[in-house]
Amino acid sequence: MTRKRTPSRSKKIAALVLGIGALSGAIALTTGAGFASQTGSPGAVTTADTGTPGSFRAPVRHGVQIYGCTRQPDGTFAFTQHDVRAALKGGIKHSFVSPDAGPPQWIAPDGSAVTGKIISRTPNGQGNIPELELTATQSGRPTGKLATVTTVRRLDTRGGVAPTGSCDPATQPTVKVPYSAVYEFVSAPGHASSSTPTPPGN
């Protein structure tokens, strides 16, 4: 015997189908948003790079520490800091304002820029240059990615250490040592960066 489908039963089935469809749509939206937040746009600094509140992080894409063969007080020659050249995520360029003398500088594509002065060094293992904290001084446009930055931190350093032993300035005046690091740019409280990004440190 065939059972008749009552109106109330039909309404319940319809409601159940609608509920399943809505849940599937919500899952698809959530998954899509999660994927988009992980991929971001090429070269952009995303929320995943954020460290300290009011800051952003930019890892080194390509970087070298540059050392010059210089005469030491005892008359020998050894490699000492000469310059640095690095391209950071987001198009930020890192170098010394003047070779040997410094100070280190970071320049964003929008023209905002800062120079830095070391206030602390933290060893980060054998074969790695130390982590640094530097006070930042504005040196570029008054608006932009770096326009409100007051502190720069060099974190998660790998490589970049100067060769040990003596050197000959006639045969090898400078040497470039690859390195990687993550630079954190911290703005003063209440002044988030705009998107309109001592011995010389690096």
Per-residue model confidence as pLDDT tens digits over 36-57: 222 233 344 433 455 566 799 9
Per-residue confidence (pLDDT) for residue 189, from 0 to 100: 78
Per-residue confidence (pLDDT) for residue 28, from 0 to 100: 35
Quick one: how far is CA 40 from the chain centroid?
15
Question: 12 in helix, strand or coil?
Answer: helix
User: For 33, which DSSP code?
Assistant: H
In this structure, is the dihedral angle defined by the CA atoms of residues 158, 164, 169 and 171, taken in order, positive or negative? Answer: negative
Q: Where are the beta strands (DSSP E) in 23-148?
A: 55-71, 77-88, 93-96, 104-107, 113-122, 131-138
- With b for 16 or more beta-carbon neighbours within 10 A and e for fewer, the 48-64 pattern comes to ebeeeebbbbbbbeebb
What parts of the chain have a pLDDT lower than 70? 1-53, 190-202
Amino acid code (one letter) for 22: A
Per-residue confidence (pLDDT) for residue 52, from 0 to 100: 65
Q: CA separation (Å) from 93 to 8, 39, 150, 185?
A: 69, 23, 17, 13
Q: What is the pLDDT of residues 156-184, one digit of tens each?
A: 999 999 999 999 999 999 999 999 999 99
Instruction: Write down the pTM of the prediction.
Output: 0.71
